[in-house]
Amino acid sequence: MVLASAAPGIFSAGLDILEMYQSTPERCVAFWRALQDAWLNLYGSRLITMAAIEGHSPAGGCLLAMSCDYRVMAEGKFQIGLNETKLGIVAPFWFTDVMLNTIGHRETEKALQLGALYSAQQALSIGLVDKVVPLAEVMPTVEGELKNWLQIPAAARVITKTSMRKAVLDRLRSQKEKDAQFFADFINRDSVQKSLGMYIASLQKKKN
């Protein structure tokens, strides 16, 4: 399975910030449950999963990419990373776990505190993506890599993948409702709503 985007220049802009702003607790819980299930299915997928990152990939976009087995990113101006702290929010523990599994403890600690967004070359240097190529070559490179992965006996590959990811998946599975409730409480704090409001305004200002 290849994750790619139909929007030129954007792999994924992350979670819909407007869903987290001035929403109701009930809607926040439903929103979060949908995200949890999507992520559990992706990270726990038995399929070979690859991200064709042909554009920006902040926050939830970076989570999607990191949850795949292999990442190819377009060189140039695009950025990738977990930038949550820049919005005044905090990456949930399962976002952090996936980043830890991808780039290790020291880089994750820096990346998360700073809300760092990396260029493709920087992302390559810390292991956040596996390959950087010109934009037009992203999809052919993914397809070529997929052929390599498909050579591996499926059962052996799936057992290996499952055992590598089980602990992180189980950690969320065992506390889904608590996590959803925590999200709804956290996101509706006055201080968090204020930060989100300012961030939304800054996105709109950038456009004008």
Q: Which residues bind ligand LEDWP2DD (CB under 6 A)?
A: 9-10, 13-18, 56, 58-60, 83-84, 87, 89-90, 92, 182-183, 186-187, 203-204, 206-207
Nearer to ligand LEDWP2DD by Cβ, of 19 and 137: the residue is 19
Separation between Cα atoms, residue 23 and residue 27, nearest integer Å: 7
Instruction: Give the residue numbers marked as catalytic.
Output: 15, 60, 83-84
CA distance readout (Å), 20 to 55, 120, 195: 23, 28, 11
Distance from CA of residue 200 to its chain's centroid? 20
Half-sphere exposure of 40 (CA within 13 A, CB side): 15
Separation between Cα atoms, residue 114 and residue 111, nearest integer Å: 5
Nearer to ligand LEDWP2DD by Cβ, of 77 and 166: the residue is 77
Nearer to ligand LEDWP2DD by Cβ, of 101 and 193: the residue is 193
Task: Report the DSSP pairing between strands 55-58 and 79-81.
Answer: parallel
DSSP state of 47: S
Nearest CA among 208, 206, 191 for reference residue 87: 191
Nearer to ligand LEDWP2DD by Cβ, of 10 and 133: the residue is 10
